Structure 1
Amino acid sequence: MKIHVLNSKELVNKTVSEHLIKFVREHKTGVLGLATGSTPIGIYEALVKDHKENNTDYSQIRTINLDEYVNLDQNHPESYYSFMHRNLFNHINVKPQNIHLPNGNEKDLEMACQSYNDVLKNNQPDIQILGIGANGHIGFNEPGTSFDSSVHIIELQEQTRLDNARFFDSMDDVPKKAITMGIKNIMDAKRIILIAFGENKSEAVYQMVKGKVTENLPASILQKHNNVEIYLDESAASKLF
């Protein structure tokens, strides 16, 4: 693990977005693994700004997303389909056929999992962007998820639903299940960039970096990956040093 502690969220966003832009310019047909939630929004804003100013070309880039809520209409403003289009895809020249998200509205969810596993076999991320939950989840892989897991349906823990409640009108509206890339899928990425902001992530960050590798803290498996960079603001890094 390479750990980078920067003195502001803005500097983290700038640094990580520069890595992604460089990659896109050098690897025209590369695969970007993308995340949702509040953490990567600043990075996506920087990618959009660069595309508008410099015409960075995404026409052959393929994208893979980590997860999606189950039984939330894809046009709902808080679906990850809507999130990605609103914050990134609508503003760059990525082709719709090159955008991949798991389908949480499939009647046969087992088939949806298998289908997305097949997509991932043919679109292994060159770079996977990750956040980390306060409970150490990556993607929607909650504590206790097997390190051997592939795409699966997960029951969201109360902590995760509470963390996401701010995006919904009420706690009752927060979905209880999600479809997510498994730990094994995430570990198949060639390079992983994990980002964390804020003191509320500091304990999970500490355990991820310094704790034992355990399924009780899914992000701890990243200790076993040979190409992981972690970008933190000072608050998220506060327990490391």
Structure 2
Amino acid sequence: MSSLVIIKTGDAFPEVVDAHGDFEQLFIRQLREALPETLTLSVWDARDAVPAEPAAAYAGVIITGSHSMVSEAPPWSEALKPWLRQALADEVPMLGVCYGHQLMAAAFDGISDYHPAGRESGTHAVRLTRAGQEDPLFGQLPTCFPAHLTHAQSVMQLPPDTTILAHNSHDAHQALRYGARQWSVQFHPEFTAPVMRAYLERQKAALRDQGDDPEALLLSIGDTPEASSLLRRFLAFV
């Protein structure tokens, strides 16, 4: 039986874990209902070691978010980059999310770093590019859809031969494609509205310090079914 591996790159805030589960559990909850009988889910914590199996041994790869920063080059994160490059070379289906998005871009010779406009948090609109509208994974989404976001770093310089699939007013690189079946997104398709609310509650002071209105951001939180559907649709490419 084939395995889709979720590479865990960090932990959610303790109150989020207690109430809703950790990052990998949020993914599993979204994926389980659409998982074919021929596919199992496994979890590998990248902070312990690079996956023991080569990327080609897996049917697909999902890389989670993290509170770490790609530009600070944690040793475990740097050690994962060659594994990801081999996964791309072997055409293994991949989906990177938030930290996973930034790490994939950095591994493929792009640059991820702090965004000069500061943190983006809350439920915000994301818009498909023309390439996104024609993409096999993204093409069934509305041209503009809401997504949950919380990040201080972004993909600041694209890797070579990368296609921009989605953007918004804060970030020009909300979704990218690197190969036929390798994608990454800055937003969090695994988040629910309660999880996004918990993140904003934790970030109120930092958001206020950069000139945002946390209360307005909390009021604007909504459901993001289109963004979440990407996870289930990704299974078709695994």
Higher strand share: 2
**Do they fold alike, i.e. is TM over 0.5?**
no
Q: TM-score, normalised on structure 1?
A: 0.31
RCO higher in 1 or 2 (8 Å CA, sep ≥ 6)?
1
Q: TM-score, normalised on structure 2?
A: 0.32
